[in-house]
A and B are shown apart, each in its own frame.
Chain A
Amino acid sequence: MNGWTLLLRMALRRDRLLIPSWVAVFVVVSFGSAAATESLYGDPVSLAAAGHAVNATPALVALYGPIYDVTALGAIGMMKMNAMGAALVGLLGLLLVIRHTRADEEVGRTELAASGAVGRHAALAAALGTAALTVVAVGGLSAGALAAAGLPLGGSLTLGAAWAVCGLVFTAVGGVAAQLATSARASRGIAVAALLAAYVLRAVGDTSGPAWLTWASPVGWSQQMRAYAGDRWWPAAFALLAAVAVAAAAVLVEQRRDLGAGVLADRAGPAHGGPTGPLSLAWRLHRLALAGWASGFALLGFLLGSIASSVPQFLEGAPAAAEMIRALGGTDRLIDAFLATELDFTALVAAAFAVSLIVRLAGEEAHGRAEEVLATPTGRIRWALAHLAVALLGSAVLIVLLGTAAGLARALDTGEVSQLLSVAGASLVRIPAAWTMAAVALLLYAASSRAAVYAWAALVGVVVLGEFGPLMRLPDWMQQLSPYRHIPALPGADLEVTPLVVLLAVTAALVAASAVLYRRRDIVTG
């Protein structure tokens, strides 16, 4: 452990932009949703109606957890941020730990540190410390933001603490996952799978399954702290104990393995074959990620489709909320408006998949793997287009998959087969907007390999414009900047083809501009 404080300072320095940005996202979103709560549920009657409606909808309870006090504004307003928020903080913790352990080890940075005067577990301790500080900061500052936005102080502190302890548990889980696999990707896969399992465990415990399942899940412990609905702090003890035990396990495992090795040995693979060209290589590199995203999208689509029919019921007597969904979705029919809003939002997430692929393309260049391909007869344009093709195809598949799953759930729910076609068809109009975001990312990458990560900023900008633009009454031209603003609000609205054609044209123009820039610049390694 010798020297771990030095490594901790180095890690914090390296992430001096990344960590504050993440903390800021949580704080801003907390403040935004807390501030919006008051206007959504004006009177106690509509509040209780909405609360009962949520608790009576298994799909919603599975997704967000039950509402423990239907008379509490905070408990209902923060419903989406409770278990979900805790899980997201957990995700942040595990990603940070793996970033500073296995990801470093994979590229040999740890070897440099290990050869210096630092102890065997210093890197792990520093990574755990970095992530722990971050999740505690997220919890503390978000609690402040919630209280500042007008929610009760006690509940806000409980929610912040619930987030932080869940973050600590999955920080430790990330520490173990980093010891198991030999690649950062596989480590992330293991830790995220553990997080999803915990989430599903509490979803089942909260709905059909035995209630103790919720108590077997770290996300369940955070949820059982019942922020704004009784404020119990004792479940946090489970989480803290688990965090310490799991972190100790990570140290023990690290004790027993060699630097660079993992507990799970890499399986041997084929001695021949493999990708046949640039496109097949891009597919091979991204197919696992796509499969993971696709299963998530299918599940989410089915959930959203199942919830849809109960939306009017749980908004009964809450005219403000109905008004807002109408304003956002742009149609009179509430269910359609709900589906349209969710389809828009998930299409943004699909765009995030496409952006992540383009950012990985920049990584291929930085790590020198581009160089090896580009020294063959494969030209740089062809190579980049191969990755773009997977990004475009993948995001389209995700969008259609979600629409189809949602439509299927609607069809099962209503008994009308036409619902399947209508919702699945409605998802198609989101594809051009996601593609435009992919093309923006490509343009940034084409300008400079280092600029590719700013595509994330562009995506966050679009989210902010879409989520807060109407609420904050931003000028129209500004809201128009988001491609998602131009999508016809299907299902329920008229299909307007012109904006879709314009978006496709913009996408094509951005790709063409990328090709021009990309042809001129240096390919830079490192």
Chain B
Amino acid sequence: MTNAIEIAGLVKTFGSIRALDELDLTVRTGEVHGFLGPNGSGKSTTIRVLLGLLRSNAGSVTLLGGDPWRDATALHRRLAYVPGDVNLWPQLTGGEVIDLLGRLRGGVDPGRRDKLIQKFELDPTKRSRAYSKGNRQKVALVAALASDAELLILDEPTSGLDPLMEELFRECVQEERSRGRTVLLSSHILSEVEALCDRVSIIRNGRTVETGSLTDLRHLTETSVDATLTGPVPDLAGLDLRDLDIEGGRVRCLVPTPALGDLLARLGAAGISSLVSQPPTLEQLFLRHYGDQA
């Protein structure tokens, strides 16, 4: 089997709201797949359909070779899930929740569990109600990472983590990939997806608008550069720049990330007096590429 998840033409409505509108998504076994989209685009809804919590209205969904609605319990032996908004039982301690979720999934490896707790600097003796949002998320992450599930479904797992913990999370996901696990990572942080994912699907209004490897999608990750030079403007040909605008000694353009170093070298050689460079946010990209179709 080469695909862990295959979704085609998935439709899910809540009353009159069409949350998923013929969505397609394919996640290959062994890859880390980024699942991107703005707020309310349908990421969590898709994941809940995959988990057999929501019933689809139309379309076909295959998860690990089975039907996520009919074969839910059997399929859940093989996956672990971290929800976007982690809610824990207030009276249980973090350690108890990790053990509980582990047991429900069929057992925990105590060594792995303890190592992860230590790595994420989690206090497992604290009652869940006393955890911050980030710490609740860590509890769910540790429980998922300590399992030996072949598929990890992570719904915006870093939205509450501080930058240090986010870095740690990235290491963990890379480790999981090297152990051959498949990861579906929903996010709206482009840099996180860039750092981790082999392939990416971008959805908007419940519909897939882009899917492919990061190299395929490279055109989405352009950096905007605004530089004022001390010398004459150098030759900028062959860099694949877009929206190039030269005004006296001032250069403004969008440059594909791989060519950024090259551009800066050429500008630097000409002498830079000021430089502002900005990676585009996901929202800007959406606005640029799809805003007029809304």
Contact = CB atoms under 8 A, between A and B. Distances in A.
Contacts of A369: 87-89
Given A272-B95, A274-B100, A284-B91, A378 B129 contact: no
A277 B226 CA distance: 59
Interface in A494-526: 520-523, 525
A368 interface: yes
Interface stretch (B51-59, B169-177, B217-225, B284-292): B51-59
A3 interface: no
A276 B101 CA distance: 9
A379 B72 contact: yes
For the complex of A and B, 8 pairs with smallest distance between CB atoms: A274-B96, A271-B95, A376-B104, A269-B93, A375-B81, A271-B124, A268-B125, A523-B53
Contacts of B86: 368, 372
A377 interface: yes
A484 B91 CA distance: 35
B55 to A, nearest CB: 6
B198 interface: no
Given A276-B100, A522-B53, 11 more contacts: A185-B90, A269-B126, A271-B93, A271-B124, A281-B89, A281-B100, A284-B91, A372-B87, A375-B53, A375-B80, A378-B73
9 contacts: A183-B91, A268-B125, A269-B96, A274-B95, A274-B100, A276-B103, A281-B89, A284-B92, A377-B73
Contact of A522 (B54, B85, B95): B54
A285 B88 CA distance: 12
Interface centre among B97, B140, B153 (most CB of A within 10 A): B97
Contacts of A523: 48, 53-54
Contact of B96 (A183, A266, A270, A285): A270
Interface string A369-394: 10111111111000000000000000
A373 B104 contact: yes
B242 interface: no
Contacts of A521: 55
A273 interface: yes
A274 B127 CA distance: 12
For B79, B95, B129, the residue with the greatest tally of chain A CB atoms inside 10 Å of its CB is B129
B77 interface: yes
A376 B105 contact: yes
B99 interface: yes
Interface residues on A, range: 35 or more
B250 interface: no
B129 A106 contact: yes
A280 to B, nearest CB: 9
Interface of B: 48, 51-55, 72-74, 76-77, 79-81, 83, 85-93, 95-97, 99-101, 103-106, 124-127, 129-130, 140, 153
Contacts of B52: 374
A367 interface: yes
A275 interface: yes
Given A285-B89, A369-B88, A522-B55, A274 B97 contact: yes
A523 B96 CA distance: 24
B95 A374 contact: no
B265 to A, nearest CB: 46
B93 A274 contact: yes
Contacts of A281: 89, 100
Contact of A269 (B48, B74, B88, B127): B127
A396 B167 CA distance: 53
Contacts of A266: 126-127, 129-130
Given A377-B105, A379-B72, A182 B129 contact: yes
A230 interface: no
A278 interface: yes
A525 B54 CA distance: 11
Contacts of A272: 95-96, 99, 124
Given A271-B95, A276-B103, A377-B73, A367 B130 contact: no
Contact of A268 (B83, B89, B126): B126
